[in-house]
Structure 1
Amino acid sequence: MTFPSRSFHPAGWLALALAAGSAQAVEWRGLLDVRAVDSDASRSFLDSGMGKTRYDAGSPRLSIGQAVLRGDADISDSIGATLELSADQQHRGVVDVREAFLAWSPVPSGAWKMRVKAGFFFPPTSVEIDYDSVGWVPKHTISSSAINSWIGEELRTNGVEWSARRLGRYIDAPYDVGVVAAVFNGNDPTGTLLAWRGWSISDRIAGRFDTVKLPDLPVYRADGPIPRQWRDIHPYREVDGKPGYYAGANLNLGTRLELAALHYDNLGDPLTVKDWQYSWRTRFDHVSAVWRPQGRWELAMQAMRGDTLMGPNAVALDFQSWYALASHPLGPGTAALRYDRFRTREHDILPADPNNENGYGVALAYDWPLSDSLSLMTEALLVRSDRPARRLIAEQPSQTERSLTMSLRWRF
């Protein structure tokens, strides 16, 4: 199979989605999320700082956290088109494309059910997110875990994904088993944020044409050792003309237990630089589990371990993170508690560019449904982290960040 070196362009999938809408009615759904925030955090990563949270002490008390519009259309009995647009006050572009893809789901003739997706979409790596909902937002919290915060900003499948699931009910088995594989281009800068900004715990999701600004570190200034790297990062850009891939498997024991594993490798050429952006060789292994024991408890876990490399060992580090989340109905709503751990360890040739960090986060949230379409969620978040590179931009290396956020969500 040949794979084009040029990236899939979301405008093409937008045109396909609109064409589908002209053939049959488009189902439009949306999410509007209005926030009230009180935070004591230092300068946020969205303001070129090295804070770990989306909001800092200088953020507006009231803001729009998410505004998402999603259209789904049936082109035929087995082919559908999806377009999701998003906007918020912290994107450099007002409106952007969050997902745009075609999906082919042929009618199964036996126990196996197959699906092919092509376009721009999230990889199947999160158990926090409700994939059938709008916006790729967490189900039980406002912020995402460190793993899914990174995925939301720096990873997107820009290619073709094939998945298949064997349904146990067809063969009298108590479980379903599935496999997934994808080939994609773009995502060559993946790893840049982990190396020079570190992990974050937020719900900021980048769009297809979005840019992220790095802190003003000496390493990529005009007189630094890597002057060909700009501070503005385009996370989904194709740099080296080579495709990447991921492959995984999953197992479901009814609704009681869900297990999944995935290996990701963008196969980036770390010596290639184009338009002031390096290609990074980034790969990781990922596992997740969801357990629903008696008593309406839901326990979820994700863990990730990988490495990234840029240049001739100019920047090289190992990274890892995991979290555990427990949720249970409480009164009229649902309470949730999440604990995160994250770290990076460098092993490169530039000791003046420190990229090590350690940290943890605790989120306590309560989701109160006010009606079928309106809910009020509250989250208290604490993040403790140590990153020596903060000294290079006149910040304290060890920081404790706290925030209290209220989110009024309207789904329509």
Structure 2
Amino acid sequence: MTYRILPLALALLATESYAAELHGSLDLRAGHSNAGRSFLDGGMGKTRYDTAAPALSIGQAVLRAEFDVLDTVSAGVELSGDDRHHNVVDMREAWFVWSPVPAGAWKMRVKAGYFFPPTSVEIDYEGLGWTPTRTISSAAINSWIGEELRTNGVEWSARRMGRHVDAPYDVGVVAAVFTGNDPAGTLLAWRGWSISDRIAGRNEALQLADLPVYRADGAIPRQSRTIHPFREIDGRPGYYVGTNLRSGPGLELAALHYDNRANPLAVQGGQYGWRTRFHHASLAWRPAPGWELLAQAMRGDTLMGANGVALDFRAWYALASRRIGRATLALRYDRFSTSEHDILPDDPNNERGHALALAYRLPLADGWTLMFESLFVRSDRSARDLIGEPQHQAERSLLASLRWQF
């Protein structure tokens, strides 16, 4: 019920004597793609845009309100929309944060509500919209997180500030308990990885490809073709724990273990529980002024039913960016795969692929930013045969983004 109570509570607080600070973003897109049917249209393409996509569209529209409740308590809510949302406007995040004044070297924070887990160096965890800043698309890891993962619960974090103990680095820990996210893993199994910046809203409904396995005469007829990724199905809370290290402005390391603890035999309203677990590690290194190297890696597994669908998944990427005057040039390489080991050979879910993105970002005046991205994705997925698509696909797109932030 947290996700229903929070927006109302935040709205009531905002109408009192607490002045809200508003921030927003509007991203206008133009592009061309040779890709087959996108995953947003029930296909198994890896990109957001395909040959049927409009030449002009709204990539992202985000509005965030933040305000102080007390000296040590703040709150916020973020709404979003684009031309493909199931609801015209949906909630992306809503939270309260308690940050007590530190008494020593340790700085603590408690965050409660509905928000993204701290799993990305490509995307500013505290930034507006949870969208990438160096490229237009997100890497496969962050594309999946944006669609299927959200913390609907409480997160505790603490950081030991090195300057208080004469240490050259800061060290931090994080732990969270959450509900929802029981269907997480559905998209990885039956659609696979994607390379996109599509962020799901709280009430999102995502449609899978028309695969035989969940048709009325299929092996899993209780599974709906429409996925609601943030549902709570079995009443069991999930958790994640992690640690991080920061050495000055030049080096950041982090690791996280995630387990939604879903019951894979539970099913409700056409949605199964998927027991999804993963390990995640990230690196951000700034070896010289103007240079930045980022990397993330994820390895995990997911299970649905009595071994009806079971697979391991892996992905990693490396990104290098270089500031050239006011502009930034970025190059990112992705690899991703899934490997199944279940009892339904007629439901193939193996895939492997890689992607390359080259992006150019130029800040303009008064909050405007112009970006260009060339994206290439090559992938193999045998399940495409079942819906009349070629197993092997090579997708190319060229995108331009004009983004305004205030």
TM over 0.5: yes
The match for 2:111 is 117
Question: Is 1:248 the equivalent of 2:242?
Answer: yes
The match for 2:290 is 296
Deviation of 1:79 after TM superposition, in Å, equals 0.5
CA distance in 1, matches of 2:325, 2:175: 42
CA distance in 1, matches of 2:85, 2:349: 26
| Alignment check: 8 A CA contact 1:113 1:165 kept | yes
The one-letter amino acid paired with 1:354 is P
Residues 213-272 of structure 1: CA deviation (Å, up to 9, x unaligned):
000000000000000000110000001110000000000001110000000000010001
The match for 1:227 is 221
The runs of at least 4 aligned residues of structure 1 exceeding 6 Å deviation read none
Classify the secondary structure of the residue corresponding to 1:194.
helix
Match of 1:50 among 32, 44, 47: 44
Match of 2:139 among 142, 145, 163: 145
Question: Is 1:287 the equivalent of 2:281?
Answer: yes
Question: Is 1:158 the equivalent of 2:152?
Answer: yes
Classify the secondary structure of the residue corresponding to 1:177.
strand
The match for 2:21 is 27
| Alignment check: 8 A CA contact 2:116 2:125 kept | no
CA distance in 2, matches of 1:233, 1:265: 20
Q: Matches of residues 382-397 of structure 1 in structure 2 within 5 Å?
A: 382-397=376-391
Deviation of 1:332 after TM superposition, in Å, equals 3.1
The one-letter amino acid paired with 1:410 is W
Deviation of 1:296 after TM superposition, in Å, equals 1.9
Deviation of 1:18 after TM superposition, in Å, equals 1.8
Unpaired runs of at least 5, structure 2:
none
Match of 1:67 among 45, 57, 61: 61
CA distance in 1, matches of 2:143, 2:323: 25
Classify the secondary structure of the residue corresponding to 1:352.
coil
Match of 1:95 among 89, 92, 96: 89
| Alignment check: 8 A CA contact 1:23 1:75 kept | no
| Alignment check: 8 A CA contact 1:16 1:81 kept | no
Deviation of 1:372 after TM superposition, in Å, equals 4.0
Residues 4-24 of structure 1: CA deviation (Å, up to 9, x unaligned):
xxx422x31112222332231
Match of 2:207 among 208, 213, 236: 213
| Alignment check: 8 A CA contact 1:286 1:305 kept | yes
The match for 1:399 is 393
Deviation of 1:130 after TM superposition, in Å, equals 1.6
Question: Is 1:192 the equivalent of 2:194?
Answer: no
| Alignment check: 8 A CA contact 2:38 2:48 kept | yes
Classify the secondary structure of the residue corresponding to 2:130.
coil
Deviates further, 44-53 or 368-377: 368-377
Match of 2:335 among 325, 337, 341: 341
CA distance in 1, matches of 2:154, 2:23: 25
The match for 1:3 is none
Q: Output the TM-score relative to the length of structure 2.
A: 0.99
| Alignment check: 8 A CA contact 2:65 2:78 kept | yes
Classify the secondary structure of the residue corresponding to 2:77.
strand
Classify the secondary structure of the residue corresponding to 1:135.
helix
Residues 117-169 of structure 1: CA deviation (Å, up to 9, x unaligned):
11100000000112332111102000000000000000000000000000011
CA distance in 2, matches of 1:240, 1:131: 29
Q: What is the total number of aligned residue pairs between the two structures?
A: 405
Residues 59-101 of structure 1: CA deviation (Å, up to 9, x unaligned):
0000000000000010000001110000001111100000001
Question: Is 1:306 the equivalent of 2:304?
Answer: no
Match of 1:330 among 324, 343, 348: 324
The one-letter amino acid paired with 1:152 is G
Root-mean-square deviation (CA, aligned residues, Å) is 0.8
CA distance in 2, matches of 1:288, 1:176: 16
Deviates further, 128-137 or 394-403: 128-137
Deviates further, 130-139 or 81-90: 130-139
The one-letter amino acid paired with 1:73 is F
The match for 1:84 is 78
CA distance in 2, matches of 1:23, 1:13: 18
CA distance in 2, matches of 1:94, 1:330: 38
Q: Output the TM-score relative to the length of structure 1.
A: 0.97
Classify the secondary structure of the residue corresponding to 1:245.
strand
The match for 1:12 is 5
Unpaired runs of at least 5, structure 1:
1-6
| Alignment check: 8 A CA contact 1:213 1:231 kept | yes
CA distance in 2, matches of 1:370, 1:57: 30
Question: Is 1:181 the equivalent of 2:175?
Answer: yes
| Alignment check: 8 A CA contact 1:212 1:233 kept | yes
Deviates further, 293-302 or 45-54: 293-302
Q: Percent identity?
A: 67
